[in-house]
Chain A
Amino acid sequence: MKRRIRRLYGFRPVRMLTARWRQPQRSTARRPIWVSLNIPIVEDPGLQPERTTMSWHRTTLALTVVALMFFRWYEVHGPIVLLPVVLTLLGGFGIQYSQRRRYYLQVLGIAREKVRADVVAVAWLTGLVVLVAAGGIVAIWV
C-alpha cells in the first residue's frame, strides 16, 4: 500500500498522507468524495485544480518546444547542446511526474479551504528557465 502511494504521488507521500489524516478539519470545510482510492473530487464551480494542472501541462509543452529548438543547434555546437535539451526535457518530465500529486493536493486544498503555495516548484522552474536562457546566450556568443 505504501509503495503504491509512493508510486502514485511522488516524493514523501507517506508523510503527506498521514499528516492529512491527523489534521483537524474546520467545521466549514467540505469533505471530498473519493471516486476511487486515489482520486478525490470536491464540488468547486471554478474548477481550480483542473485549470491549474492544465496550466502546468501547457508549460510542459512549451518546455518541449524549447528543447527541440535547442536540438536544432546540434550541427553547429555539437553534443554540448544535449545539456539544455536534457535539462528542459527533465523539467517537463518532472512536471508530468508530479501532476497527479499536484492535482490531489489542490483538490484537498480546495476542500480544506487552504492550499499550500508551491514555492519549490516555482523556484526550480524559474531557475531552469534562467539557466537555459543563460546557456543560450553563451552559445550564441562563444
Chain B
Amino acid sequence: MSDQQPEATNTADSGTTPVEYDPNRNRLVRKVLSGGREPDPRFSLANERTFLAWIRTSLALLAGGIAVEAFTGDLFSPVVRKLLGSSLLILGAAIAASAACRWVKIERAMRQDRPLPIAYWGPVLALLAAAAGLSVMITLWIQGLA
C-alpha cells in the first residue's frame, strides 16, 4: 500500500519530485534502512566495499582456522590445535557479524547526517594478530633452544 502511493505521484508530476521512490525495496530493506534521505551513492558504494573487505578478512580467518586443523598435523597437541582452529573460526564469524552491523550503522548514519561510528574491531584484530605473531616467535625460539 505504502509503496503504491509514490507511484501515483510519479505519474502525476514527472520530473519535478526528487527521486525517493524505489519499487525494489522489499520489507527487509524498508525495515533496515528507513527514514532520512538517500546518501551520496559514492559513500554507499564505499561502505559496501569496506564491508566486503571485512568479509574477506573473516574468510581469511576461516581458511586459517580450517588450515590449522587440517594441515598442522602433529605440530601441536590435539587440544591446542582444536582450540587454535576454533578460536580462529569464532573470530571470523564475529568479524563477519560485526561487519554487517557496522555496515548498517554507517548506512543509517549517512542517511541521517550523523557522524560515522568508530571502528573498534580494527585495533582488536591488530592486537590479536600481534599476539599471535609474538607467540609463534616465542614458541619457535623455545623449540630452537631445546
Contact = CB atoms under 8 A, between A and B. Distances in A.
A23 B118 CA distance: 36
B24 A126 contact: no
A12 B67 CA distance: 40
Interface stretch (B48-56, B119-127, B137-145): B48-56
Nearest to A110: B41
A11 to B, nearest CB: 10
**Size category, A interface:** 35 or more
B1 interface: no
B86 A141 contact: yes
Contacts of B59: 59, 62-63, 65-66, 129
B65 A116 contact: no
A62 B28 contact: no
A137 B40 contact: no
Interface residues of B, number: 60
A72 to B, nearest CB: 4
A119 B33 contact: yes
A38 interface: no
A19 B23 CA distance: 7
Contacts of A72: 66-67, 70-71
A126 B52 CA distance: 10
A59 B86 contact: no
B51 A120 contact: no
22 contacts: A12-B24, A15-B23, A19-B24, A22-B10, A22-B11, A23-B19, A46-B42, A48-B41, A48-B45, A48-B46, A51-B45, A51-B49, A52-B45, A58-B56, A59-B55, A106-B41, A109-B44, A116-B22, A126-B97, A133-B90, A136-B86, A141-B86
